[in-house]
Amino acid sequence: MATTTKTKVAAKTSRYNELRKMLEERRRELMTAVQHKMRDVRAEGGNDRDVLDQGESSEVDIQEDIEFALIQMKSETLNKIDAALRRLEEGTYGDCFECGDEISEARLRALPFAVRCKDCEEARETAEQRERMLAQKRGSSALFFDMSS
């Protein structure tokens, strides 16, 4: 009995360490990417602005908008990683939202913010597909009901 408990605890700890390492690596990559991008945008912005005509300058604006959107996306991912790390500390990260089972490490590596295990996710997708098909079958009457409610 005692041995099984010990093995379980050891497995938990190694999973914790692996997931923590995975999240922290991602965090570091994102941080570096965001910092580089910020530096690029700052270095590019302003300097060339004076010599550009109207058309070129709006192209630069679009480029900058894209850069900023990318930075924003990465920052949001960073926030999610921070939240995941907090959940990992609390011991709730990586457990399936539906059935409570552990989500496999491979799945978490591919989708660090997955909240369901593969089985539950697939079951949900199937259910959603069925819903959509039913909705299509109901067709215009469903639309009528939706509008009247």
- The residues binding Zn ion (CB under 5 A) are 96, 98-99, 117, 120
- Is the CB of 68 or the CB of 97 nearer to Zn ion? 97
Tokens 């480029």 -> residue: 63
- Is the CB of 58 or the CB of 104 nearer to Zn ion? 104
- Is the CB of 23 or the CB of 121 nearer to Zn ion? 121
- DSSP 8-state symbol, 116: S
Q: Read off the tokens for 110.
A: 């591919």
* Long-range contact set of residues 131-138: C-beta below 8 Å, sequence gap at least 24: none
How far is residue 21's CA from residue 42's CA, in Å, rounded to a whole number?
Answer: 31
| Least CB distance to Zn ion at residue 22 (A) | 20
- With vertex at residue 20, the alpha carbon angle to CA 113 and CA 18, rounded to the nearest 5 degrees, is 100
| Least CB distance to Zn ion at residue 96 (A) | 3
- Is the CB of 71 or the CB of 114 nearer to Zn ion? 114
| Least CB distance to Zn ion at residue 114 (A) | 10
| Least CB distance to Zn ion at residue 108 (A) | 13
Calculated CA dihedral for residues 71, 73, 75, 76, nearest 10 degrees = 170
How far is residue 106's CA from residue 112's CA, in Å, rounded to a whole number?
Answer: 10
